[in-house]
Amino acid sequence: MTFEQARLVATGIHPLSRLDNPREVVRQFTPNWFAATMGTGILAIALSQFGKDVPALMVVAEGLWLFNIGLFALFTGLYAARWIFFFDGARRIFGHSVVSMFFGCIPMGLATIINGFLIFGVARWGDAAVGIAHALWWIDVALSIVCGIAIPYMMFTRQEHSIEQMTAVWLLPVVACEVAAVSGGLLIPHLTEASLRLDVLVVSYVLWSLSVPLAMSMLVVLLLRMVLHNLPHVSMATTSWLALGPIGTGALGMLVLGHAAPEILAASGLGQFGLIAEGVGLVAGLLLWGYGLWWLAMALLITFRYLREGLPFNLGWWGYTFPLGVYAVATLRLGSVLPIPAIHGFGVVLVAALACLWLIVGARTVRGAWRGDLFVAPCLKSA
């Protein structure tokens, strides 16, 4: 290596300077990267909530959504390449007690793209966008169910876990189902066939029930773990925010499905249950939202404590974005139902915080990806 080459590597100007070979990008690629599509997608969705009042934000939101499609396609290609060219290394993920949890990020990242087709795509491509969203939604449903069942089964049979080592990443594979449920609720108003709308509604409620009760039980164990063993290692600092994911998405799911249910049930001869579903949706959404306030306060306090000790950057920082984003969107949705301006104002503050976090985490991710620091597969090291 010449002196000039050494200088470029040392200063980070040379791309992938921290990797022995560019092929390591593929060999070391893990599902953790899809957390970036989750964070980017939820920011686009959150900003779109203000599109009527601030049209410029709608343009920014649509741009983020299109960027997110490209990002998801890139990550899908890289991860598929790992399974093709480095199969033996790729399959080790199933035995890893942490990295395997991030399989749930794949369907959750896809769900944000599906929602974008309904929010942005319909205005541009009409029914074609609905058709794409509908087809992708069933794929997302299948992926979510597989993650929600297969990963816990592997936790029971192939992996080693302990309460002391537990973190909120356990939530990732099971939360995917309730994220798909929210997408189903958003899809329903765009469907025209009554029987199909009922099918999507019922499936969405089932998806919600496959996820939220299990996630709530995990939060009970997580609370016990933190009381008995204190906070996780600093490398897992962002997991304190992950609890907001199932809480925020669970609340949003109840609100969205409860809003869609009366018309669909009435059209199917089940009108007597419509108002019940709508009422349960509001009450359940409000209760879950209130529960989220406790976890939000705790996440802030824990993060401040970690910051005093030093908080090194890793891909886990994307864990700040999606949970906060879904809680923010749930807050805005609740504020649109209840005539309490403070709730909407709180949602605006959360979205502003989300945008700032996305800029910080995104910039550091680009820097780490350029240098190659972030292409690390723990499942290879532990094998």
What whole-number distance in Å separates Cα of residue 30 and Cα of residue 25?
10
Q: Confidence band (pLDDT; 50, 70, 90) for 74?
A: very high
Distance of CA 67 to the CA centre of its chain: 16
For the cut 50, the answer to whether the pLDDT of residue 10 exceeds it is no
Q: Tell me if 284 sits within 8 A of 254, measured CB to CB.
A: yes
Q: Per-residue pLDDT for 366 more than 90?
A: yes
Query: What is the tens place of the pLDDT at every residue in 251-283?
Result: 999 999 999 999 999 998 999 999 999 999 999
User: Mean pLDDT in the chain?
Assistant: 94
Closest-CA residue to 103 (of 90, 112, 117): 90
Q: What is this structure's pTM?
A: 0.94
The confidence score (pLDDT) of residue 3 equals 42
Q: How much of the chain, in percent, has pLDDT values that exceed 90?
A: 88
**pLDDT tens digits for 297-351?**
999 999 999 998 888 999 999 999 999 999 999 999 999 999 999 999 999 999 9
Tokens of 68: 């997110």
Q: What six digits make up the tokens of 101?
A: 């949890």
Q: What's residue 51's pLDDT? A: 85
First-to-last C-alpha distance (Å) of the chain: 32
CA distance 320 to 358: 9
Residues 100 and 82: their CA atoms lie apart, in Å, by: 15
Give 74's Cβ-side CA count (13 Å radius). 11
Digit-coded pLDDT (tens) for 133-157: 999 999 999 999 999 999 999 999 9
286 Cβ contact partners less than 8 Å away, ≥ 6 residues apart: 251, 334, 338
pLDDT at position 190, please?
96
Q: Note the pLDDT of residue 18.
A: 82
The rounded distance, in Å, linking the Cα atoms of 356 and 3 is: 39
pLDDT at residue 12, rounded to an integer: 53
